[in-house]
Structure 1
Amino acid sequence: MRIDLHSHSTASDGQLTPRELMARAAEKEVDVLALTDHDTLGGLAEAAQAATEFGVRLINGVEISCLWQSLEVHVVGLNIQIDHQGLNALLAEQQNRRELRAHLMAERLEKANFAGGYEGARAIAGDAPITRSHMAQWLVSQGAADSMGKVFKKFLSRGNTGYAPPNWCSLDEAITAIHQAGGVAVLAHPTRYDLSNKWIRKMIIAFAEAGGDAMEVSMAQQSPQERATLGEWSKEYQLEASVGSDFHFPSQWRELGRQLWLPKEATPVWTRFISGEQT
């Protein structure tokens, strides 16, 4: 069974519609896929209909941005009740925060002679909440740099012209909302926050102490040593292990379901809500 528990659609900053995402999952022989858009459940209804059509098992999910030690970290909620009032209230507040941040980024970029950032990012995002990725796409279209990576480094990262500090919910609030909605809280991509191993461990400990259930161990573009280390940490801190490509668009580096296996010592999180073995 091929499982991928972290993916995005046009409901946030992915480039495939929820239906297209499910079609690609079927094409790539993914049996179980979680749609985990940033701070929104907006793509799940379309995804559910398409999942039935393409024979993919959909896990209702979300990726919540939150703050820990003034650092932005992400918590994935899996197998959530999409109509839960408390979770939806938190996500509505998160989207308000995204809107305010987008306006602030645009104001700061205008001072650097890039006017119209909010309107440009909104046109790219459509009905989805605006993310830094949408702002980065607009900046590339304006000739600010020739790639998203360069735009982030030059304009949208901490200390640079268009950066606006996040004002997300706390780690505890994200975990609590996921649990109240019947879901499982997973620390997303723990090695992707530009932290030393010492601080990664501190983050994992804080997540576990706040009631988190699991951490992503298997990810895209990952060395065998990184995967083994994360597997050891998941066992050490008594967290279950998740797998996720963090898919946003088709590319040669990151694909749905590709190479998402777990070390032997890791306890799979998906046994909570699906049966069968991963291959």
Structure 2
Amino acid sequence: MSILLNADLHCHSVVSDGTLTPEALAARAHANGVALWALTDHDEIGGQHRAAAAAHALGMDYLTGTEISVTFADTTVHIVGLGFDPDNAQLAQGLAATRGGRSERAQEMAQQLAHVGISGAFEGALRYAGNPELVSRTHFARFLVETGVCHDTSEVFRRFLTEGNPGYVPHRWATLGNAVRWIREAGGMAVIAHPARYRFTANEEYALFSEFKQHGGQGVEVVTGSHTPSEYPVYAAMAQEFGMAASRGSDFHSPNESHTDLGALPDLPGQLTPVWELLSDRILRAPRTTAG
């Protein structure tokens, strides 16, 4: 498959913190010219069969996906898994354990917000959560916008839900090694999601890439809606330095919130190996119609 393929291998549905169903996301991806798609809900694979069926009904090829939250260097880092068996029991159990602390964390976030005069935040956030096991900061942000506390979700994160502000509660996620192992043992490929977002020092970032590769990680998102164009060549060089394949994904969550639409990113730089080349035997191909 060509490096110029319009592949979008990172987005979220109502199964985690997106606002569209897997079926609506598939339709949006198809309308925007996506040929290879993956739904990568946070710590959840419950939408995979729906997403694959919707993609195939529209003639799109599909890769299974998820985005696993891990703690590395006291920072939440995301690892995307692609091309795994969506019915793998070990992966499902690992993701369930990772989700386990979210409800307690959400209750503590709500308590902190109540201390600064914002009541009912947990119940408000829960209304936005398509999956009650995955109440997240994004759901709190939507509630604070709805109630007029903030103008938009960006303001919510600046004022309330980031470190040092009321409403921020850290959570210890899976380990990097466990996340990569779950993905690999389910037959998939592990990919570092949007590395520029973590604001690591050069040494911390090098340590992340080194440890990730030691655990068997094989890919990194280079072109993503969470990177600026000036960051694309930085992570293209990192992919080459560490011998990793390159991925591409919008990180789309919602038509009203996401800066980058499904399928709207530029192509990967040509000197890189795209992840879909290494995953060609894991791609769920859409049925091809033949002329009679």
Same fold (TM over 0.5): yes
Of 238-247 and 110-119, more deviation after overlay is shown by 110-119
Equivalent runs, 1:22-101 vs 2, <5 Å? 22-101=26-105
In structure 2, what is the equivalent of residue 118 of structure 1? Answer: 122
Equivalent runs, 1:170-181 vs 2, <5 Å? 170-181=175-186
Residue by residue over 1:92-140, the C-alpha shift from the partner in whole angstroms, topping out at 9 and shown as x without a partner, is 1122111121111112111112122111111110335111100111122
Unaligned ranges ≥5, structure 1: none
Of 233-242 and 261-270, more deviation after overlay is shown by 261-270
In structure 2, what is the equivalent of residue 4 of structure 1? Answer: 8
Amino acid at match of 2:259: W
Residue by residue over 1:157-197, the C-alpha shift from the partner in whole angstroms, topping out at 9 and shown as x without a partner, is 01111111112011111101111111100000000112344
In structure 1, what is the equivalent of residue 286 of structure 2? Answer: none
Cα distance in 1 for partners of 2:228, 2:117 equals 41
Aligned residues: 276
Structure 1 residue 222 displacement after superposition: 4.3
In structure 1, what is the equivalent of residue 248 of structure 2? Answer: 243
Structure 1 residue 209 displacement after superposition: 2.2
Q: 1:204 aligns with which of 202, 209, 225?
A: 209
Residue by residue over 1:179-230, the C-alpha shift from the partner in whole angstroms, topping out at 9 and shown as x without a partner, is 1111100000000112344433332222222221110011126444321121
Give TM-score, length-normalised by structure 1: 0.93
In structure 1, what is the equivalent of residue 234 of structure 2? Answer: 229
Cα distance in 2 for partners of 1:140, 1:160 equals 17
Q: Is 2:9–2:248's contact at 8 Å kept on the other side of the alignment?
A: yes
Give TM-score, length-normalised by structure 2: 0.89
1:21 aligns with 2:42: no
Q: 2:259 aligns with which of 220, 242, 253?
A: 253
Structure 1 residue 60 displacement after superposition: 0.8
Cα distance in 1 for partners of 2:144, 2:72 equals 29
Secondary structure at the counterpart of residue 49 of structure 1: helix
In structure 2, what is the equivalent of residue 274 of structure 1? Answer: 280
Structure 1 residue 25 displacement after superposition: 1.0
Cα distance in 1 for partners of 2:130, 2:232 equals 36
Secondary structure at the counterpart of residue 169 of structure 1: coil
Equivalent runs, 1:176-191 vs 2, <5 Å? 176-191=181-196
Shift in CA distance, 39/98, structure 1 to aligned 2, threshold 3 Å:
same
Identity of aligned residues (%): 39
1:142 aligns with 2:147: yes
Secondary structure at the counterpart of residue 33 of structure 2: coil
Cα distance in 1 for partners of 2:68, 2:228 equals 26
Q: Is 2:194–2:227's contact at 8 Å kept on the other side of the alignment?
A: no
Amino acid at match of 1:217: V
Cα distance in 2 for partners of 1:125, 1:28 equals 26
CA RMSD of aligned residues (A): 1.8
1:262 aligns with 2:268: yes
Amino acid at match of 1:66: V
Q: Is 2:250–2:264's contact at 8 Å kept on the other side of the alignment?
A: yes
Q: Is 2:82–2:188's contact at 8 Å kept on the other side of the alignment?
A: yes
Structure 1 residue 56 displacement after superposition: 1.4
Q: Is 1:191–1:200's contact at 8 Å kept on the other side of the alignment?
A: no
Cα distance in 1 for partners of 2:173, 2:227 equals 28
1:219 aligns with 2:224: yes
Unaligned ranges ≥5, structure 2: 284-292
Secondary structure at the counterpart of residue 156 of structure 1: coil
Structure 1 residue 85 displacement after superposition: 1.0
Q: Is 1:232–1:266's contact at 8 Å kept on the other side of the alignment?
A: no
